[in-house]
Amino acid sequence: MVNQKIIVTTDDLVYSQLLQDLLADEGYSDVLCVAHAAAYQVARYQQPAVLLLDVHGAQPASDWELLDKLWGDPDTAYIPVIVCSTMRLSAWQSRQWARDMPCDYLEKPFQLDDLLGRIAALLRQPGANAVGQGG
């Protein structure tokens, strides 16, 4: 069974609704938007194919903690993450786990086609969309 569930984690309600609507228009009907505080538990339970993480410029430390939790848990470590941020790419690349873990980076503002292309690429990766992969 193919899993195309996408979780969008952000505390910005307008951004989450916009992404949910845009993704639904592109055929991704299983999109769940959650606040940062609930993202780890929801991802652990829902086992999405892709997680979109909106990194806050004002408080990125909590976002990095979320990534540490996800990738430190064998049930969620395989979930690919697309980090969407206004942070410079060089700052992102300087983090060791950005090179070692299943993640991609998209600098805001971004084009919808860029986001869709990255989601599609992650969904095509072997094993990335198998339901129940994490155990």
pLDDT tens for the chain, 135 residues: list them.
Answer: 467 899 999 888 898 999 999 999 998 889 999 988 899 999 999 999 999 998 866 666 677 788 889 989 999 999 999 988 877 655 555 555 555 667 888 888 889 999 999 999 888 875 544 433 443
Specify if 86 maps to a domain.
yes
Specify if 89 maps to a domain.
yes
Q: How many domains does the chain have?
A: 1
* Residue 133 φ then ψ, to 5°: -60, -40
- Give the pLDDT score at 93: 54
Specify if 134 maps to a domain.
no
Report whether 69 contacts 83 (CB < 8 A): no
CATH code (residue 114): 3.40.50.2300
Q: How far is CA 108 from CA 20, 24, 77, 84, in A?
A: 17, 20, 25, 6
- Give the pLDDT score at 36: 86
Domain ranges, residue 32: 6-124
Burial of 94 (0-12, 13-18, 19+ CB in 10 A): exposed
- Give the pLDDT score at 130: 44
Nearest to 79 by CA among 113, 128, 119: 128
Specify if 44 maps to a domain.
yes
- Give the pLDDT score at 1: 44
- Give the pLDDT score at 18: 92
Specify if 24 maps to a domain.
yes
